[in-house]
Amino acid sequence: MRDTFLVFGAPLIEEAEIDEVAASMRSGWLGTGPKVARFEHEFRDYVGSAHAVAVNSCTAALHLAMVAARLEPGDEVITTALTFCATVNAIIHAGATPVLVDVDPATMNMDAGQVKTRITDRTRAILPVHFAGRPCDMDALCEIAVRHGLRLIEDCAHAIEAEYRGRKVGTFGDFGCYSFYVTKNVAAGEGGMVVTRQEEDAARIKVLALHGMTKDAWKRFGDEGFRHYQVVDCGFKYNMMDIQAAIGLHQLRRVERLWPRRKALWDRYRAALAGLPVALPPEPDPAMRHAYHLFTILVDPARAGIERDAFLDAMTRQNIGVGVHYLSVPEHPYYARTFGWRPEDYPNAMRIGRQTVSLPLSAGLTDQDADDVITAVRRILEGAAGAR
């Protein structure tokens, strides 16, 4: 067994971002400023979108995208039953009503066929999540959105590098929303980004992200003289700091260098764990580019001889940090109580949520770390088989 604990999702921090943060600290400009503007610019160019606005989380990005989409109380937004709570909470914060669909059992992405069956005369938007970094079926979702006149807001928290037929996800919809949370492929501690085609939407999001103050209000303390601002909307405190952008800028610049490392780890897990009594994620469709954010196995007690939660505990005892992405949304009491959702109505998401285990997949993992993970999984499953 390894002698140190392998932290799940530990970011790979290098000297460039440490120096950049130190430079921001020394300059005294910690808040929203020129580094945020540069990060927006480079991010926009990376994904190939017309506009990008940096905010302090993906949750804020999703919320602002929905406010900019001018959703109103009673409007319905269709999303997936297998996602982080932030996706659903953002819909609720925007005053709209979330409507869930089940996922495809193999891709774990929202089932586009089911989306069609959930459309009512109150549906205004679809919110797909590119789960684990695997692109959703954007042909089908775009076709549904166009046919029914719906806004499309993509949750790309797992999927910065993901492409669908050669085009970056996040650029298909009206808005693409990204996360720079500590475990994400580009980590800034906390942070988010909204990309959009429409200049008007980007401008509104920018204003809403800083209290509704007029554009460039952050420059008011700069060396160009004091600038007055006006409050033109009732906005939020969602702006990104230069300290965050200082980290994000360098992380973004090496995102393409690290992608092959996570792909190699993903392939190594798939090859080494094949033949064990757990389900592995399917190979990516060749027409897609997977972002390799999560590597999830499914521990079915009937097959593996061990309950999922016992497997999680056993991995931790082997000094391997693991994650659960995610218990299905209807399993949480708030949603069950508020919307009357029942897990069994979303059977694929329910089963995945009860069986899933995420293995460490940070680009900072060494081959030895990956082999320790593989050894731990094998040992636990062999022990479970021996105990039968």
* Contacts (CB under 6 A) with ligand PLP, residues 216-275: none
Q: How far is the CB of 83 from ligand PLP (least distance, A)?
A: 5
Closest to ligand PLP by CB, 181 or 295: 181
Nearest alpha carbon to residue 315 among 358, 350, 276, 354: 358
Is 35 among the catalytic positions?
A: no
How far apart CA 309 and CA 323 sit, in angstroms, is 11
How far apart CA 366 and CA 138 sit, in angstroms, is 34
Q: How far is the CB of 359 from ligand PLP (least distance, A)?
A: 16
Q: Which residues, at least 6 apart from 8, have a Cβ–Cβ distance to it below 8 Å?
A: 183, 321, 322, 323, 358, 360
Closest to ligand PLP by CB, 61 or 144: 61
Site string for ligand PLP, 143-182 (x = CB under 6 A): ------------x-xx--------------------x-x-
φ/ψ of residue 279, rounded to 5: -85, 140
Closest to ligand PLP by CB, 57 or 328: 57
φ/ψ of residue 192, rounded to 5: -155, 170
Q: Quick check: 356 binds ligand PLP (CB under 6 A)?
A: no
Q: Quick check: 39 binds ligand PLP (CB under 6 A)?
A: no
Q: With contacts defined by CB under 6 A, name the span among 83-91, 100-108, 112-120, 234-242 that binds ligand PLP.
A: 83-91
Q: Quick check: 11 binds ligand PLP (CB under 6 A)?
A: no
Q: Quick check: 348 binds ligand PLP (CB under 6 A)?
A: no
φ/ψ of residue 246, rounded to 5: -60, -40
Nearest alpha carbon to residue 11 among 253, 158, 182: 182
Crossing angle for the helix pair 242-253 and 15-27, to the nearest 10 degrees: 160
Closest to ligand PLP by CB, 85 or 336: 85
Tell me the number of residues near ligand PLP by CB under 6 A: 14
Q: Which residues, at least 6 apart from 337, have a Cβ–Cβ distance to it below 8 Å?
A: none
Q: Quick check: 24 binds ligand PLP (CB under 6 A)?
A: no
Q: Quick check: 79 binds ligand PLP (CB under 6 A)?
A: no
Closest to ligand PLP by CB, 29 or 131: 131
Give the CA distances from residue 251 to residues 16, 230, 247, in Å, rounded to whole numbers and listed in that order. 9, 34, 6
Give the CA distances from residue 148 to residues 79, 174, 239, 277, in Å, rounded to whole numbers and listed in that order. 16, 14, 33, 43
Q: Quick check: 69 binds ligand PLP (CB under 6 A)?
A: no
Q: How far is the CB of 158 from ligand PLP (least distance, A)?
A: 6
Q: How far is the CB of 55 from ligand PLP (least distance, A)?
A: 9
Residues in contact with ligand PLP by CB under 6 A are 57-59, 83-84, 86-87, 129, 155, 157-158, 179, 181, 192
Catalytic residues: 184
